[in-house]
A = this chain, B = another copy of it.
């Protein structure tokens, strides 16, 4: 049994953590991207399906390809951030189950028989879980993110996932060391009683 993390850690992960649109001029090395993945990969997904596929836009070329596919306000964020991660999802994730969920071969057979829409919902659910692990893992390592949905999914898929059949974009997120003082005031958060029920 573990103790609760310190208040400082809970603040860093959740309570004072914020979405950032402006970052310090401090590079984010590929070792840091790998360190984030090495936490994200441990987060649970259904049947260890691990559907997320991540493209880390680090070069000016990649940012220049992604930015025009975003809404105008998001384009500027992509151009200015050290990194923007495209969190994609593989709707054919079940092809990997014999490797990732080897003790239950029936799981792949069951998923083979599902309509693609059902597998796409699973991929959306589980790659979103992994997207949240990415946000929290970045914070745990001292970085900040700016997750965004305002982009043309089909165009991003064509530009970044053309060589990965079955992979579609879920959401994107800028990544870097947030410039303190830049976030807007925090938006409202409801108390427990609003959206929770004890049964």
Contacts and interface: CB of A to CB of B under 8 A. Distances in A.
A92 interface: no
A99 B189 CA distance: 10
A115 to B, nearest CB: 15
A59 interface: yes
Nearest to A198: B56
Interface residues of A, number: 82
Given A14-B43, A58-B198, A48 B133 contact: no
A189 B142 contact: no
Contacts of A131: 129, 132
Interface in A1-16: 1-5, 9-10, 12-15
A46 interface: yes
Interface string A6-28: 00011011110101000010100
Nearest to A100: B188
Contact of A56 (B9, B38, B199): B199
Contacts of A37: 192, 195-196
Contacts of A10: 39, 140
B132 A128 contact: yes
